[in-house]
Amino acid sequence: MKSKHTTEIASLGEFGLIDRLTSRLALRSGTTLKGAGDDAAVIDLGDDVLLLTTDMLTEGIDFDLSYFPLKHLGYKAIVRGVNDILAMNARPEHVVVALGVSAKISVEALDELYEGMEHACNELGIDLVGGDTTASMNGLIITVSATGRAKKEDVVYRNGAKEHDLICITSNLGAAYMGLHLLEREKRVLQDVENPEPKFEGHEYLLERYLKPRARTNVLEALREEGIRPTSMIDLSDGLASDLRQICRASECGARIYLERIPIARQTTELAEEMHIDPVIAALNGGEDHELLFTVPLDKQEAVMRLGLVDVIGHITRPESGVILVTPDGEGIALKAQAFDR
């Protein structure tokens, strides 16, 4: 590198790096309906569109093989890749997997990884249609690239939220984050113990949420059956605060969400308190929830509540109102990506 001036990636802030890298990208093909900047790219096929996305997991950052069973890791890698297709309201169809493998990984370990991938593909009714295996100097690397199909008019982008729309989420938040914290704690506590027996009783739900997140295809199907088309949608991977801000940024709007309406599982709250973590922080900023965050028009309130699969946590506002978390005593706090200030 001969650059006289170098900039650390972290200094660019929340959306800085992606914005900077993708802003230069020219779109030449008339078939590209949406390039970078949403959960997946959208490519014109005539009546239908093709969705395309890619997702990389690296050892030591995204997973720790000392406690992450390879079968689960394979399953999770596929679900993560496919979630970006689901978040466009599309049907996932095909995945390809590129692996970087270090010399220390055995064939049996890769068998397990593939078993988990195949299990996920089977559940989702999709095909794993190829891949690439290369050596890696340091640790396992998994890139899952996924395609999907949808009718053009069915695709839901991040940028369609309108004032008064309701903000909805599937399942509950913060559980995966607490599952990860539990795994990290037991690893730390037992690192010098000869036959370690980690204490996971009562926390199975949290572990499963972290190790084996489920794709919410059922929610999308239920919405379709009820004739509810989300106005905007995103995969909840970076945490509610950051992902809601992505929707507001793309849709040029603000949002108000209500703290007491954010669904947090009992198990999440219990472990968070035991570990002196604020469960609200886990829910807002923990990340890796892999639930769907979406908006629906106000007049769909009853219909969406009736599904029993979704919580309404707030509504969309004008852009100048900002992205606000309302506490039970009515105080409004501006939501930031990685933390929130009282």
CA 219 to the chain's CA centroid: 15
Q: Is 20 among the residues that bind its own copies (CB under 8 A)? A: yes
Residues 54-83 that bind its own copies (CB under 8 A): 54-62
Q: Which 8-state DSSP code applies to residue 340? A: B
Stretch binding its own copies (CB under 8 A), from 13-21, 210-218, 269-277, 291-299: 13-21
Q: Is 275 among the residues that bind its own copies (CB under 8 A)? A: no
CA distances, 169 to each of 5, 114, 142, 234, 294 (Å): 43, 31, 28, 10, 6
In whole angstroms, how close is the CB of 259 to its own copies at the nearest point? 30
Q: Which is nearer to its own copies, 24 or 342 (CB)?
A: 24
Q: Which is nearer to its own copies, 148 or 279 (CB)?
A: 148
Is 115 exposed, middle or buried (CB count within 10 Å of its CB: 0-12, 13-18, 19+)? Answer: middle
Q: Is 32 among the residues that bind its own copies (CB under 8 A)? A: yes
Residues 289-328 that bind its own copies (CB under 8 A): none
Q: Is 193 among the residues that bind its own copies (CB under 8 A)? A: no
Q: Which of 15, 139, 324, 326 binds its own copies (CB under 8 A)?
A: 139
For strands 91-101 and 127-135, give the pairing. parallel
Q: Which 8-state DSSP code applies to residue 323? A: E
Stretch binding its own copies (CB under 8 A), from 22-30, 208-216, 284-292, 312-320: 22-30
DSSP, residue by residue, 120-185: HHHHHT-EEEEEEEEE-SSS-EEEEEEEEEEEGGG---GGG--TTPEEEEES-SSHHHHHHHHHHH
In whole angstroms, how close is the CB of 310 to its own copies at the nearest point? 27
Q: Which is nearer to its own copies, 2 or 342 (CB)?
A: 2
Strand order in the sheet with 291-296: 232-236, 291-296, 166-170, 310-317, 254-258, 323-326, 332-334
Q: Which is nearer to its own copies, 22 or 327 (CB)?
A: 22
Q: Which of 13, 36, 189, 306 binds its own copies (CB under 8 A)?
A: 36
Q: For 190-210, give one letter per residue: b (16+ CB within 10 A) or e.
A: eeeeeeeebeeeebeebbebb
Strand order in the sheet with 48-58: 32-34, 41-44, 48-58, 141-151, 91-101, 127-135
Q: Which of 13, 19, 111, 152 binds its own copies (CB under 8 A)?
A: 111
Q: Which is nearer to its own copies, 12 or 324 (CB)?
A: 12
Q: Which of 13, 130, 196, 332 binds its own copies (CB under 8 A)?
A: 130
Residues 142-181 that bind its own copies (CB under 8 A): 143, 145, 147
Q: Is 250 among the residues that bind its own copies (CB under 8 A)? A: no
Q: Is 195 among the residues that bind its own copies (CB under 8 A)? A: no
For strands 41-44 and 32-34, give the pairing. antiparallel
Q: Is 212 among the residues that bind its own copies (CB under 8 A)? A: no
CB atoms within 10 A of CB 59: 19
Q: Which is nearer to its own copies, 111 or 278 (CB)?
A: 111
Number of amino acids touching its own copies (CB under 8 A): 83
Q: Which of 107, 188, 302, 329 binds its own copies (CB under 8 A)?
A: 107
Q: Which of 24, 188, 276, 342 binds its own copies (CB under 8 A)?
A: 24
CA distance 82 to 45: 20
Q: Is 339 among the residues that bind its own copies (CB under 8 A)? A: no
